[in-house]
Amino acid sequence: MNANSLILLGILFSSLVTGVVIFFLKEENHRLRTWLNLLGAGLKLVLVGALVWGVRAGETFSVRYALLPGLDFALGADATSVLFVTLSTALWLLTTLYAVGYLEDSPHRSRFFGFFSLCVSATVGLALSSNLVTFLIFYELLTLSTYPLVVHRGTPEAMRGGKVYLCYTMAGGAVLLLAVAWLQTLAGPIAFTERGVLKALAVTHGGELQIIFFVFIAALGVKSALVPLHGWLPKAMVAPAPVSSLLHAVAVVKAGAFGIVRLVYDVFGIETAKALGVLEPLAWLAAFTILYGSVRALFQQKLKTRLAYSTISQVSYIVLGTAIFGPLATIGGLVHLVHQGLMKITMFFCAGNYAETLGVHRVDELNGAGRRMPWTTAAFTVAALSMIGMPFLAGAVTKQFLKEGALAAGDHWVVWVLNLSSLLNAAYFLPIVYRAWFKPAPAQWPAEHSFGKWETHWMLLLPPVLTAVAVILAGVFAETPFSPLEWVKLIARREYGE
C-alpha cells in the first residue's frame, strides 16, 4: 500500500475513529471531546489538501478490496470527487466548531458528536467512492448516521420529523439498490469513468437504459429533494442548527445531487445521456423544483422552514446544470455544489444564532435583530444577496454560467426560469434583511441571552462570518487558480473531451 492509498484511508478514518472514541467518552469530558473533534477535522483537512495537490499533479489515488466475486469496495480520487470532499471537509471543520458552542450545555453530547463524525465519514466515503457498489454502501450509511442527529432532541416533534426522514431516505435507498443491481446485471460492475461507460450498450439496450436512468433519478431524487420527493426536508428542520447546516450544505442533499452528477457524467456519460433523450426531462424536473421551492418559501414564517424550501430550490440548480448539454452549463451546475454550500451553511448558522441568542425562530420576530446582532445579520445579508444573484458574489457566478450554458445549448426557456427564480429569491429573502436592519426592535426578545462583549458565543459567531467571507471571495476571485470555478472548469474540459 503506497502513500496515496494511505491518504485516502486517512481521510475516511480520521473522522470514523474520532466518532467511535467519542461514543465512549463521559458527558463531563467536554474538553477532551472538543479537542478530539477539532483534531480529527484538522487532520482530515490536511490530508485533503495533499489529495488536491496530488490530483492536480496527475497522481493516482486508489484503494480496492474484493467483497464478493465481481463486487469490489473501491475508493479513488478524481477532479469531481475532490471537489465534493474538499467542500465537505472544510465545512465540517467550521460546523464542528459551531456545534461545540451550540451544544455547550446540552445533554447527550458524546452521542451527538459520535454520530456527527460518522455522518461526515459516510459523506467523504461517498465522495471518494470509485464504483456504484461503494457509493451505495456509503449512501445508506449516511442515512443511518444522520437519523440520530435529526431526532437528537428526543421531543415528539423531533421523533415525527425523524420518522418521515427515515421513511423517505430508506425507501430511496431501496430503489437505489434496485437500480444498481439492474444496471450491473445488464452491464457488469460499474466504475465511475470520465465520459461514462455505457456508450456501446446504449446502441443495443437504449430503451432499458432509459428506464434504469429514471429509476436512479427516483432514488437519488429523495436526498436531493426533487419534487415530489422533497417532503422529508422541511420536516427534518426539527434538528439542531448544526445538523440542519450539515443536512443542507455538506451531507444529505449534496449526496443526492452529487449522485446525479456521477450518474450523468461518469456512469452514462453526458453524450450517451443526451443521445438517450433523458436529459431534457431531468432539466424540466429540476426547473419545476427550482420554482416550486421558491414559491413555497414565500409563505413560510418559520425561518428554518423558509430556508429549507430555499434549499429544495437551490440544490436543483446543480441538477439543472447537469441536465443541460454543454460545458458552460456543467460549470454552472458543478460550481453551485460549492457555492450553494457556502451560502446555505451561512444562513443556517445565522438562524441558529438568532435562536440561541434571542430565542427568535420566526421571520416576523426578526425586527431590529441587525442592531442587536450586526455581525450575524451582516453574514446572513451577504448570503441572501448572493442567493439572489448580486454581482461579485458566489451566487452570481453560478447563475451567469447556467444562463450562458442554456443559451449555448439552445434552451432559452432556462434563462426565464433562472430570472424568475432570482425574483422569487429576492421576494422571500429581502423582507428578512429589511426587518433585521430597518424595523424597530421589540421591547423584549423572546428569550435573550447575554455573552458579554460578544453579540453571541464566539464559536457561534466565527463560522458564519468566515463562510460569508468565503461567499465574497468565491465571487470576487472566481477566476483565480485553485478557486472552485477554475477547478470545475477542469472537470468540464475532461467530461467533454476538450
* Domain count of the fold of the chain: 1
The answer to whether residue 13 sits within a structural domain is no
The answer to whether residue 133 sits within a structural domain is no
* pLDDT surpasses 80 at 169: yes
The answer to whether residue 139 sits within a structural domain is no
pLDDT band, residue 241 (cuts 50/70/90): confident
What pTM did the predictor assign? 0.92
What is the pLDDT, as a whole number, of residue 134? 93
The answer to whether residue 193 sits within a structural domain is no
Q: Which residues constitute the domain of residue 327?
A: 278-498
Region 381-399 average pLDDT: 94
Q: Could you tell me the three cell numbers for 296?
A: 413555497
* pLDDT surpasses 80 at 205: yes
The answer to whether residue 91 sits within a structural domain is no
Q: DSSP label at 363? A: G
Region 96-119 average pLDDT: 81
The answer to whether residue 487 sits within a structural domain is yes
Provide the β-strand partners of residue 68. Answer: 71
The answer to whether residue 330 sits within a structural domain is yes
* pLDDT surpasses 70 at 248: no
Region 259-280 average pLDDT: 93
The answer to whether residue 221 sits within a structural domain is no
CA dist 131 and 65 (Å) reads 12
Q: Could you tell me the three cell numbers for 314?
A: 437551490
